Amino acid sequence: MPEKTYQSDIKHSFYTPNSLRRKNIWLERLRWASTFSLTVFLILIYAFKIDIYPYASILSIILVLTVANTVFLIYLRKSPPTYLQREESIVLAQIAGDYVLLTALVHYTGGIDSPFSFFYVFHIIIASVIFEKKYPAFIIAIVSVLLYSGLTLFEYWKIVEHYGNGSRAFNIIDITFALSVFYVTIFASTYIGVTLMMRHKKVKNLIFTQKEELEKSEKEKMQFFRFVSHELKSPIIAVQSSINVVLDVMGKDLKKQAKDMLERGRKRTEQMIEILKDLVTISYDEKDEDHVPEMVVPCEHVPEVVDFYRPIAVEKNIKIVENICKQRRGFKLDKFLFEKIMTNLISNAVRYTPAGGTVTIKTDLDDDYWYLIISDTGIGIPKEEQKHIFEEFYRASNAKNFEQVGTGLGMSIIKRLVEQENGKINLESEVGKGSTFTVRFPLN
Amino acid sequence: MSRKIMIIDDDIDLVEAMRITLESDGYQVIDAQEGQKGLEILKKEKPDLLILDVMMGTLDEGFHLAYQIRNDEAIKDIPILMITAVGAQTGFEFDMQRDEDFLPVNEFIEKPVNPQVLLDSVKRNLPVA
């Protein structure tokens, strides 16, 4: 099958080959349940000596079911799903096989008197759920009607033997009545199943379309963000550069008051540049960036980021404690994003820790995750504010007092980046004692 | 004789800020606001060092220019400091800084330019007279 069909299947179909495969496996499991029930049924009629049914024939149906389903199980596990039509054919093959065996079972358990005749309905419901179009469910309904009517009439005409002690099998009025009820049941079920499913599909399509629209507008919003922040950056950078020159190059000729005012101006432009940088970062949509995750051994990158912050920490009289990261385990990760996450966490820790404090960087590994744990002896985050800390533009009340400049975007960026890499970030903090941020990434 | 430094940047205010900084330290400064014009002046004046903006008209005009300079026998040895505001957001800077063979420039300086950083960087990269 050409690749193109496979692609268009995914786009327009209610199912994908993978989701239909799951349905196929589900059918196979249901069949194990029915095989088991049938075995219990056989044991019971044997135990209670109900000898109107041929034990050997029912046993052989169970055996055929077991063998066929085992073969099927192996096939489903060994051969991966490829395209939709193939999965649909597998569903059809399952239904066809089941109908043959079900008709045999109905035959051996009394034909028109068989308690199993209503089992034909199951497959009609399954077909109405699984098939994209309405007609397969109706075709299956017709097949079940033909099979059941054929069996009943063959028994009536004595073409095949009738099992059981009922006389209904040979009374044409009883047969007509029973078959009519059967037809109504079958076609009503088909109609109900198909109608419900169509409605369900419509709703799902609607949700899908709306989701696409939302994503599109979100993307446009981010592009606008990015455009605006790039545009704003150039002038503010020119402003800051000019102030820098006045203060740093000609500062000695300035009055103290003028110097102070320019210092204030420099602080505020710095703040604005930080905000703009954060806005640019936040506006980069993971989907339109081609950061390709590669195999990364994070322990190879931890020391360089830590070393970068050492001088800044020393200047603030903060100790950086780093446990030596030994794990050689690598996993798929975007190296750039990982470094950005680390950089942001460490710089935050250093920023909100008073002089004399400690920032500790640890890493850990278990069977499923790799952990990066960054703790500080800083100002901490009040309990009631912790849940907001990852929200955009949120700054904890004590953070504002401690450090005037800050955008409130840092933590939301970190969270975004972590989640982009399928990781999780977790915070433990106590005011006055410090904070611990734990980031974990799945190894697979 | 004072050393000659050339600035190519389309933001006139940034050029001015850098000029004052550099002149305060005794350098002679020439400038151009546009790449190709800059290249001409560069060839004629042969400054001791070039300060180049990464983004001018297009996203990476500065880079192209740097390549052109490196491939021109007459001027290929002029040290280049590249000023950039691309910074953290694209992932750009990280990779480039590591892959030094690939780099046509000597050093990156991030915008907004801090006068002391600029002067230190210039001093570091100026060829010994």
pLDDT digits (tens, 9 = 90+) for A135-193: 889 999 999 999 999 999 999 998 988 887 777 888 899 999 999 999 999 999 999 99
Please give the class, per CATH, of domain B4-123. alpha beta
- B-chain CB neighbours of A242 within 8 Å are 13, 16-17
| pLDDT tens per residue across span A92-149 | 989 999 999 999 999 998 888 888 888 999 999 888 888 878 888 999 999 999 999 9
Name which of A233, A242, A269 is nearest B85 (Cβ-Cβ).
A233
- Of all residues in chain B, the one with the smallest CA distance to A413 is B89
Whether A244 and chain B come into contact, CB under 8 Å, resolves to yes
Mean pLDDT of A85-96: 89
Whether A242 and chain B come into contact, CB under 8 Å, resolves to yes
Contact A241 B113 (CB under 8 A): yes
- Of all residues in chain B, the one with the smallest CA distance to A288 is B90
B4 pLDDT exceeds 90?
A: yes
Scanning A307-336 for CB atoms below 8 A from B yields 336
A406 pLDDT exceeds 80?
A: no
A285 pLDDT exceeds 60?
A: no
**Confidence at residue A184, expressed as pLDDT on a 0 to 100 scale:** 95
Whether A281 and chain B come into contact, CB under 8 Å, resolves to yes
Contact B17 A238 (CB under 8 A): yes
Contact B111 A237 (CB under 8 A): yes
Contact A242 B16 (CB under 8 A): yes
Percent of chain A past pLDDT 70, that is, above it, reads: 94
**Confidence at residue A69, expressed as pLDDT on a 0 to 100 scale:** 93
Contact A237 B14 (CB under 8 A): yes
Cα–Cα separations (whole angstroms), residue A175 to A115, A117, A161, A288: 15, 13, 16, 67
A9 pLDDT exceeds 90?
A: no
The residue among B128, B122, B125, B127 whose CA lies nearest residue B24 is: B122
Task: Among A10-14, A256-260, A275-279, A410-414, name the most confident range.
Answer: A256-260
**Confidence at residue B36, expressed as pLDDT on a 0 to 100 scale:** 86
- Of all residues in chain B, the one with the smallest CA distance to A272 is B112
Whether A436 and chain B come into contact, CB under 8 Å, resolves to no
CA dihedral A415, A420, A426, A429 (to 10 degrees): -20
| pLDDT tens per residue across span A52-69 | 888 899 999 999 999 999
**Confidence at residue A8, expressed as pLDDT on a 0 to 100 scale:** 37
**Confidence at residue A104, expressed as pLDDT on a 0 to 100 scale:** 93
A323 pLDDT exceeds 60?
A: yes
A6 pLDDT exceeds 60?
A: no
Whether A268 and chain B come into contact, CB under 8 Å, resolves to no
- Of all residues in chain B, the one with the smallest CA distance to A280 is B89
Mean pLDDT of B81-98: 54
A23 pLDDT exceeds 70?
A: yes
Enter the tokens of residue A50.
């109900």
**Is the torsion defined by CA of A285, A291, A294, A299 positive or negative?**
negative
Mean pLDDT of A207-221: 89
A1 pLDDT exceeds 80?
A: no
Whether B70 and chain A come into contact, CB under 8 Å, resolves to no
Whether B20 and chain A come into contact, CB under 8 Å, resolves to yes
The residue among A396, A417, A414, A407 whose CA lies nearest residue A275 is: A407
Contact A241 B111 (CB under 8 A): yes
**Confidence at residue B59, expressed as pLDDT on a 0 to 100 scale:** 61
Whether B99 and chain A come into contact, CB under 8 Å, resolves to no
**Confidence at residue B56, expressed as pLDDT on a 0 to 100 scale:** 66
Whether A241 and chain B come into contact, CB under 8 Å, resolves to yes
Higher pLDDT, A230 or A245: A245
Contact B89 A248 (CB under 8 A): no
pLDDT band at B93, cuts 50/70/90? Answer: very low
Name which of B85, B90, B115 is nearest A248 (Cβ-Cβ).
B115
Strand-pair category, A294-296 with A331-333 = antiparallel
A290 pLDDT exceeds 70?
A: no
Please give the single-letter amino acid code of residue A305: V
Residue A344: Cβ within 10 Å count: 20
Contact B88 A240 (CB under 8 A): no
- The distance of B67 to chain A (nearest Cα, Å) reads 24
* B17 three-state secondary structure: helix
Query: Got the DSSP string for B22-81?
Result: HHHTT-EEEEESSHHHHHHHHHHH--SEEEEES-SSSTTHHHHHHHHHHT-TTTTTS-EE
**Confidence at residue A274, expressed as pLDDT on a 0 to 100 scale:** 81
- Angle, helices A84-108/A17-47, rounded to nearest 10 degrees: 10
Q: How many CA atoms within 13 Å lie on the side-chain side of A337?
A: 28
Instruction: Tell me phi and psi for residue A342, to 5 degrees.
Output: -60, -45
Please give the single-letter amino acid code of residue A222: M
Whether A219 and chain B come into contact, CB under 8 Å, resolves to no
Mean pLDDT of A345-373: 90
Percent of chain A past pLDDT 90, that is, above it, reads: 37
Mean pLDDT of A414-426: 88
Chain A interface mutation, best of B111, B114, B117, B119, highest count of A Cβ atoms under 10 Å: B111
A14 pLDDT exceeds 80?
A: no
Enter the tokens of residue B82.
């590249």
**Confidence at residue A11, expressed as pLDDT on a 0 to 100 scale:** 41
What is Dmax (Cα atoms) for chain B? 41
- The distance of A282 to chain B (nearest Cα, Å) reads 9
**Confidence at residue B34, expressed as pLDDT on a 0 to 100 scale:** 86
**Confidence at residue A145, expressed as pLDDT on a 0 to 100 scale:** 95
pLDDT band at B95, cuts 50/70/90? Answer: very low
CA dihedral A382, A384, A388, A389 (to 10 degrees): 20
If you average pLDDT over every residue of chain A, what do you get? 86
Whether B29 and chain A come into contact, CB under 8 Å, resolves to no
B60 pLDDT exceeds 50?
A: yes
* Residue ranges per structural domain of chain B: 4-123
Question: Which pTM was predicted?
Answer: 0.54
**Confidence at residue A289, expressed as pLDDT on a 0 to 100 scale:** 53
> Is residue A148 within 8 Å of A103, Cβ to Cβ?
yes
Superfamily of domain A294-442: Histidine kinase-like ATPase, C-terminal domain (3.30.565.10)
Instruction: Tell me phi and psi for residue A44, to 5 degrees.
Output: -65, -50
Contact B89 A280 (CB under 8 A): yes
- Of all residues in chain B, the one with the smallest CA distance to A341 is B88
**Is the torsion defined by CA of A327, A329, A335, A337 positive or negative?**
negative
B67 pLDDT exceeds 90?
A: no
Instruction: Tell me phi and psi for residue A310, to 5 degrees.
Output: -55, -50
pLDDT band at B58, cuts 50/70/90? Answer: low
**Confidence at residue A275, expressed as pLDDT on a 0 to 100 scale:** 82
Residue the block writes with tokens 């033909």:
A146
> Is residue A52 within 8 Å of A113, Cβ to Cβ?
no
Q: Write down the ipTM of this complex.
A: 0.78
- The distance of A331 to chain B (nearest Cα, Å) reads 20
Please give the single-letter amino acid code of residue A397: S
- B-chain CB neighbours of A241 within 8 Å are 13-14, 17-18, 111-113
Contact A336 B95 (CB under 8 A): yes
The residue among B118, B120, B105, B113 whose CA lies nearest residue B52 is: B105
